[in-house]
Amino acid sequence: MSAPCYLSTRGRAPAARLAEAVAAGLAPDGGLYVPERLPRLEAGTFDPDGSLAATAVTLLAPFFAGDALADALPAICAEAFAFDAPLRPLTRPDASLLELFHGPTAAFKDFGARFLAACLRRLRADDAPPLTVLVATSGDTGAAVGAAFHGQPGLRVAILYPDGRVSPRQAHQLGSFGGNVRALRVAGTFDDCQRMVKVALSDPDLQARVPLSSANSISLGRLLPQLAYYAHAALRVRRTHGLALDLVVPTGNLGNALAAVWVRAMGLPIGRIVLACNANATLPEFFAGGDYRPRAAVPTLANAMDVGAPSNFERLRWTYPDDDALRRALTAASVDDEAIRATVRRYAQAQGLVPCPHTAAALHLLDREPVRTDRRWAAVATAHPAKFEQVLEPLLGHPLAVPPTLAAMLARPARAEPLAADPGALRDWLLATP
Ligand SMILES: *Cc1c(COP(=O)(O)O)cnc(C)c1O
């Protein structure tokens, strides 16, 4: 197999090898890396009894073929997929919950963060200067990246999060790592944090003085592993029920849902893909036929989806260059806070299942679909509810049990440095901080 090359969505950057694209995060022209073309795989290529890690190796091998990281792919997958992504049955017979929150920080972002850390650690030469990994987070990304990179030699992490817009437990998690992982609380929104990271990454003068990479969902090293749990779930559903898997995906920056779109384009048995957005309606308006109009984010109960300018939209457009074809490929809907609250209460009462606010948005849209015997749905559960106790406990009237790894993180002291919502402030911090 010849080595695939990776191009920028903006078309003004040289083609890169996978290892280069993963190391860089963002392409030098400010675009996002995409493969020259998506590989096609037959369902028969996969070991029907394989683990999630085994599915990941088979699925990702064509992306890694001929690359510096190719030989390490099985070890990288073993590190990243050390916990499962189970399908939990729901009361309605045609649907289940795809639980992606069994990692150390209890959100789906653990998969991508651990995969990226496993790649970057192997790409760094022992005598190279330390690499600073920048990450803008609306809550869960930063914790997952902090946990995955904490204590990794030669790597340091700067986490930027919008001050006051993440839950107290999330903020505590972000500041709890210490050592090579620093938390910066930015006086602005998530979009500000994301813009600051993008400006830093496309500043060659800064890069020459402080080698930088990104751990945002714009990084291919986070996006590619997310394909694995969709492939694994779809193969299980095909084997058990002989049907394709339809998905409702809680969506903010569009990284998780894009992985589902790519897996389907690669030939895996995935049917409909529904994007569950919160009141930030940039995507629902586009899919309803409107213009793509990025805007400032508004705060909602599903704060990890408070995104007004979803950065992976560039990759979606690359996947479907024709707007009409794109609108046929996906649907999207907004779920407001009232509907999120009502859905949390309903599932807690009727099924003894407490969804996180993001998962509740997906369940709300699932419940609008009629029950059918010829379809199989999975609503994607993106985080454990205990991360959002401030929203959920008042609705439920009782405390939520905290998973042990999360509890250990919360028991540590936490610290974050304040930063202005300005790319210049981040530049100064990076140059001044050893
Ligand atoms: C990040 C996150 C989302 C949104 O995922 P995107 O890839 O940004 O679309 C949804 N729910 C939770 C819990 C998250 O942490």
> Residue 140: inside a domain, yes or no?
no
Atom of ligand 1 nearest to the CA of 358: 11
pLDDT tens-digit profile, the chain (434 residues): 568 899 999 999 999 999 999 988 889 898 999 999 999 998 889 998 899 999 999 999 999 999 999 999 999 999 999 999 999 999 999 999 999 999 999 999 999 999 999 999 999 888 888 899 999 987 778 999 999 999 998 999 999 999 998 888 889 999 999 999 999 999 998 889 989 998 998 899 999 999 998 887 788 999 999 999 999 999 999 999 999 999 999 999 999 999 999 999 999 999 999 999 999 999 999 999 999 999 998 999 998 899 999 989 999 999 999 999 999 999 999 999 999 999 999 999 999 999 999 999 999 999 999 999 999 999 999 999 998 999 999 999 999 999 998 898 889 999 999 999 999 999 999 999 87
* CATH assignment of the domain containing 349: 3.40.50.1100
Q: Distance (Å, rounded) from C-alpha 102 to C-alpha 85?
A: 7
Residue 171, domain member (yes or no): no
Ligand 1 and 306: CB distance under 6 A: no
Distances, alpha carbon 380 to alpha carbons 88, 222, 245, 251, in Å:
10, 18, 12, 10
Report the C-alpha gap between 83 and 395 in whole angstroms.
30
CA angle (21 as vertex; 19, 27 as ends), nearest 5: 160
Residue whose Cα lies nearest atom 2 of ligand 1: it is 304
- Residue 148 is encoded by which pair of tokens? 């995955």
Residue whose C-alpha is closest to residue 112's, from 211, 228, 20? 228
CB 244, CB 238: distance < 8 Å: yes
In whole angstroms, how far apart are CA 434 and each of 161, 162, 188, 421?
A: 20, 23, 25, 21
Ligand 1 pocket residue status of 256, Cβ below 6 Å: yes
Between the CA of 304 and the centroid of ligand 1 the distance, in Å, is 5
Q: Is there a domain that residue 392 lies in?
A: yes
343 within ligand 1 shell (Cβ under 6 A): no
Token pair belonging to 48: 């029907």
In a domain, 387, yes or no: yes
pTM of the model: 0.94
Ligand 1 centroid to 334 CA: how many Å? Answer: 15
Structural domain range at position 262: 85-107+221-398
Please state the atom number of ligand 1 nearest to the C-alpha of residue 101: 13
Q: If you measure from the C-alpha of residue 251 to the centroid of ligand 1, how many angstroms do you get, rounded to a whole number? A: 6
Domain count, the chain: 1
In a domain, 21, yes or no: no
The answer to the question of residue 240 being in a domain is yes
Which pair of tokens denotes residue 17? Answer: 């090898």
Residue 168 lies in a domain: no
| Structural domain includes residue 100 | yes
Neighbours of 211 (CB within 10 A): 15
Among 190, 224, 253, 359, say which to mutate for ligand 1: greatest number of ligand atoms within 8 Å of CB.
253
DSSP state of 27: -
Does any ligand 1 atom lie closer than 6 A to the CB of residue 217? yes
Which of 138, 193, 224, 256 has most ligand 1 atoms within 8 Å of CB, for mutation? 256
Q: How far is CA 246 from CA 208, 224, 377, in A?
A: 46, 20, 5
State the residue for tokens 């609306």: 138
Instruction: Give nearest CA residue, ligand 1 atom 8.
Output: 253
